[in-house]
């Protein structure tokens, strides 16, 4: 990790004061704010821009220009990142990031889940994150090394053997050629992918062709043609319902069907009930 400058964001006044005393180097700067709370702000984009003004904005295809290290106690920041991707703003608008995040085992499972995992794990969060980022598990860290300590709880059957005694240190890096596949200049197409995964494919038992046929009569044959192509390319994978598609197949689906006459329109039309 080649680090030239370190910028620390600490919201607690006491810790902030202690960090100021420790940051004698000119390459270390300390700020009294919390980046992780940005998703809760109404003016989140402007607030984040002022917090990260020290980062020089570059194109996504360039080398990663900043590395974010943080511990997360919920999924709010991860969902905020996905909104950044959809709207082409916020932290992802600064360039392609590398993030070292400490997350709970439950959150990690939801990020890496595949189409054959239980439905409570394999959701749009997993699909979109795996399309946008490379995710790597680096290590496990004792949860007691972080404050506040977690509140003791009684394990239930739904938790299974999942232990919350550790946090998982993961490395997330934006995929360099992502926008070449989607077409970066076409922001609507990026939005189409997000909406398609969230509102169409994101429902496990949603029947893809009959559902879209209800919105765009006569569009089914085009989809069947795409599915037949997928069938040969994936040696017989099924695409009858949303749970049959992997993240790569969903991306290819949007790439193919987005050229159709009305798909982008129906996904962005505010009169449809899922918007």
**Rounded-to-integer distance, Cα 258 and Cα 226, Å:** 11
**CA proximity to 140, closest of 161, 121, 164, 158:** 164
Q: Which domain-ending residue is among 163, 181, 199?
A: 181
* pTM of the shown model: 0.73
Question: Do 206 and 123 belong to one domain?
Answer: no
Question: Do 77 and 141 belong to one domain?
Answer: yes
Residues 170 and 136: beta-carbon distance below 8 Å? yes
Lowest mean pLDDT among 41-50, 122-131, 134-143: 41-50
Question: Do 57 and 159 belong to one domain?
Answer: yes
Is 77 a domain residue? yes
pLDDT at 221: 77
**CA proximity to 44, closest of 35, 54, 53:** 35
Per-residue pLDDT band for 195 (boundaries 50, 70, 90) equals confident
* CATH number of the structural domain spanning residue 61: 3.40.50.150
Question: Do 214 and 264 belong to one domain?
Answer: yes
pLDDT at 158: 47
The pLDDT tens digits of the residues spanning 68-99 come to: 999 998 899 999 898 888 888 888 888 899 99
The pLDDT tens digits of the residues spanning 250-266 come to: 555 555 555 444 455 44
For residue 28, pLDDT beyond 80: yes
């Amino acid at each position: 990790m080649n680090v030239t400058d370190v910028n620390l964001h600490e919201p607690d006044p006491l810790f902030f004061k202690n960090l100021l005393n420790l940051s004698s180097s000119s390459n270390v700067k300390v700020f009294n704010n919390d980046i992780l709370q940005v998703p809760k702000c109404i003016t989140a984009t402007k607030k984040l821009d002022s917090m990260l003004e020290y980062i020089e904005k570059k194109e996504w295809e360039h080398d990663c220009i900043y590395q974010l290290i943080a511990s997360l106690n919920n999924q709010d920041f991860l969902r905020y990142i996905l909104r950044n991707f959809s709207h082409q703003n916020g932290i992802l608008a600064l360039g392609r990031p590398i993030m070292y995040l400490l997350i709970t085992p439950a959150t990690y499972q939801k990020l890496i889940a595949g189409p054959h995992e239980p439905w409570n794990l394999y959701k749009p969060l997993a699909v979109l994150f795996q399309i946008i980022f490379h995710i790597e598990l680096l290590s496990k860290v004792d949860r007691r090394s972080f404050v506040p300590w977690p509140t003791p709880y009684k394990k239930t059957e739904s938790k299974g053997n999942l232990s919350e005694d550790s946090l998982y240190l993961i490395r997330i890096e934006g995929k360099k050629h992502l926008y070449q596949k989607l077409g970066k200049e076409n922001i609507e197409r990026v939005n189409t992918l997000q909406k398609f995964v969230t509102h169409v494919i994101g429902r496990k038992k949603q029947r893809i062709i009959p559902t879209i046929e209800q919105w765009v009569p006569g569009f089914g044959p085009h989809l069947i043609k795409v599915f037949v192509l997928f069938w040969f390319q994936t040696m017989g994978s099924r695409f009858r319902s949303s749970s049959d598609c992997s993240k790569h197949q969903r991306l290819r689906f949007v790439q193919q069907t987005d050229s159709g006459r009305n798909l982008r329109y129906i996904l962005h039309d505010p009169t449809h009930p899922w918007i």
